[in-house]
Structure 1
Amino acid sequence: MLYDNGFEQLVNQPTRECNTLDLFLTNCPDLIPRVEIIPGLSDHNIPYCEINTSFRGKCQTQRQIPLYARADWDSLRAAAEDLSTELQVKKSSHSTDELWSTFKDKLLAAIKKFIPHKTARPQNNLPWITPNIRRLINKRDRKYRRMKKTGSAKLREEYKSLRRTIQRQIRRSYWSYLNSIFTEDSNTCQVNNKRSRKPFKRSYVLHGHTLETVSTVKYLGTTMSENATWDTHINTMVTKANKTLGFLRRNLKISSVSIKEKAYKAFVRPVLEYASSVWDPHTKKNTDKIEAVQRRAARFVLNRFHNTSSVSSMLSTLGWQSLKQRRKTARLGTLFKIHHGIVQCPVISSKLVPPPTRQRRKHNCQFKQITTRTLCRDGSFLPRTIKDWNSLPAVTVEAATVDTFVSRASAS
C-alpha cells in the first residue's frame, strides 16, 4: 500500500526487541541521508533521522485595509437599494450564476467606491535590524550601485568598509536582542523554598542577568509557591472555573440537561482536574472550595437555583462523583502506571519498596509507608497515595490494565 501511494519506509531496524514499531514514511528519500536507531530511556529505542531541508519564510504582501470610520454610508445604502431593485428585475430572465455575479461585482464596486482604503506595508524585517542599521544598509546599496556604474576603486573601498561595519553592528544587535529576552522584566525568575528549617538562598545568573526571586511562579500550567503549598494555584484555578461556568450560564440558555452537562464536563471540569495528581489538596478548606464549583454547576445543569433545593440530591440525580474521589482515583492511576513501568519516573519508582515482612499486609503489592515530619509533606503525592494504595483490595491492585484498575479503584 505504501509503494502504491509513492511512499517509502526508511526504518529498517527493530525499535523494541525484535519488532519495528516506529515508521518513517517519505516520498522524497533523497532528502534523508541518515537513519539509525539509538538507545532510549526504556526498552523502546529511538529512531534518529537527519533531513536535508530549508525553511522558506512566507513574506507578507501589501493589503488593503478599509477605513469604515470615513465611509459614505448613505451612498452605500443607496447603491444597495439600487442593486436590490436591479436583481428583482433580472431574477426572471437571468440564471442563478448570472445573478450572483451581478450581485458580487456591484457590491464590491460600491464598497471600493464609498469606503476608503489604506495600503498596509509588509512587516518582514528581523527584530534586531534597527532603524540605524536599516539606514546603513540603504546607504550601502546606493554606494554599490554607484560603484558598479562608475567602477571607482575609491567607492569599492568605501563599500567594503561599510559592509564590514554593517556586519559588526548586526552581530552586536543580534546578541543584544537575545540578551534582552532574559531581562529582569521578563518571566524568567526563581522561587526559593521557605518551608525548610534552613532555607537555601542562592542567586542564579542567566545570560548576564540575575534572576528575580518571586513568591509564586507558573510552570506547565500549575502555580508553585515558596511555602510549598498549592493555595495560590487552587485559588487561580477555581476563579477560572467559576468564570467559565458563568460564561456558560449567560450564553447557554437552553433547557436540555444533557447538553448543559456535556458543556460542564467539557469546559469546566477539565480546568478543575488539570494535573490534579500533583496538587490534590489535603485541607478541608481547599477541598470545599473546589467542590463548591461542581455544586454550582449542578444547579446550572438542572436549573434549580432556589435556596431550599438540595444540591446533594442534584448530584445524586446527575450521578456525579465528588471531585475529591476523582482526584484520588487519578492519583492511584498515576501510581499504577509508574509501578508497572507505563510511565517512566525513576525518582518515584526507587521509593516504591515492599514493607517489612513483620508488617500485616492487605495484599502482596503493598509499599513501605514514607515517614514525614509535616502535614504538608504527608499530604503530598507519594506519601498520601501510598496510604491509599495499601488500603485497596487485592482484586483492584492486581488488575491487568489501567482501565480495569481505574474502574475498580473508582468503585472502591
Structure 2
Amino acid sequence: MALNPRCRAVVYRGFVRPILEYGMLVWMSAVPSTLAKLTAIQRRALHVIGDGCYLPSLDIRRSVAALCYLFKLHYLTGPDIITALLPPPAPAPVRARTRASVRTIASHHPLQLTKTVPPQSRNNVLRSFPHCMIDTWNCLPASILSAGPSQKSMQTFKKKVYDHLRQSDWDWATDRLYTPPPPGLCSCFSHPKPNCRQS
C-alpha cells in the first residue's frame, strides 16, 4: 500500500533530514553553492512527498539550531573548547536623549554579545558559528532569553525562536522551500508563516 503524503513526510524527517543536518554547526560556514546542494535534496524530497505537507527550509532550521546552542552555552553545559569561542558580553548602551538611543536601550538584554571578528575578515569566518548568529542573537527580545537553565526551558526557547523568526524580517519571500499550506491541508511545520509569497 502506498504511503500518503503525511507518512512520506515522517519518513523524510526521520531518516533523510537528520543526515542533511548532522554536525551542521561545523559546516554551516560553507559557501552558498555548497549549501544549495542540500537544499536541492530537500526540494526533491518535497516533490516525492507531494501535496498535503509543508516543511521549513534547512536554512531556518540551521539558524534555530545555532541559536539553541548559544542558549545552551549560556544556561546549560557545553565543551570548554566551544564555550571559549563565545565573544565577551556586549556593554550596556549609553543612555541619551535621542530616539535611537531609547530604542537601543529598550532592545538591550544582558546576554548580548560583542562582535569580535573585524568586518574585513574572510567571508567563511563571518559565516561560521558563532559569528554568523551574533546579530540575530542580539536582536532577540529579552522575553525569549528569560528562561531558566533546564531542558524544558530549552524546548520553550526553541519554540519562541521559531515564532520570533516567523514574525520578524526573515526573508521568507525568497524561501522556495516553504509556502503556506492551502486551506484544508495539514502542515508538518507547526508555525507556518502567514502571507508568504512563493518566488
TM-score by length of 1: 0.33
Structure 1: distance between partners of 2:20 and 2:69: 17
Structure 2: distance between partners of 1:299 and 1:344: 40
| 2:92 counterpart of 1:340 | no
Identity, % of aligned pairs?
A: 28
Which structure: larger Rg?
1
SS of 1:394's partner is coil
User: Where does residue 108 of structure 2 map in the other structure?
Assistant: 363
Q: State which of 55, 58, 62 in structure 2 corresponds to 1:323.
A: 58
Count of equivalent residues: 147
User: Where does residue 161 of structure 2 map in the other structure?
Assistant: 409
Structure 1: distance between partners of 2:66 and 2:86: 16
Specify every segment of 5 or more residues in structure 1 that has no aligned partner in the other structure, as ranges. Answer: 1-252, 303-313
Tell me which amino acid in the other structure corresponds to 1:371.
Answer: V
- Is 1:339–1:349's contact at 8 Å kept on the other side of the alignment? no
1:293, distance to aligned residue in structure 2 (A) = 0.8
Q: Deviations along 1:348-399, whole A, 9 cap, x unmatched? A: 3463422133464523121111223111111110211222211212221223
Specify every segment of 5 or more residues in structure 2 that has no aligned partner in the other structure, as ranges. Answer: 95-103, 165-199
SS of 1:381's partner is coil
Q: How does 1:144-163 map to 2 (within 5 A)?
A: none
1:347, distance to aligned residue in structure 2 (A) = 4.8
Q: State which of 260, 265, 274 in structure 1 corresponds to 2:22.
A: 274
Structure 2: distance between partners of 1:336 and 1:291: 26
Q: How does 1:84-163 map to 2 (within 5 A)?
A: none
- Is 2:6–2:53's contact at 8 Å kept on the other side of the alignment? no
Tell me which amino acid in the other structure corresponds to 2:66.
Answer: R
Q: Deviations along 1:172-197, whole A, 9 cap, x unmatched? A: xxxxxxxxxxxxxxxxxxxxxxxxxx
Residues 295 and 347 of structure 1, relative CA distance in 2, 3 Å threshold: closer
Q: State which of 74, 86, 95 in structure 2 corresponds to 1:351.
A: 86
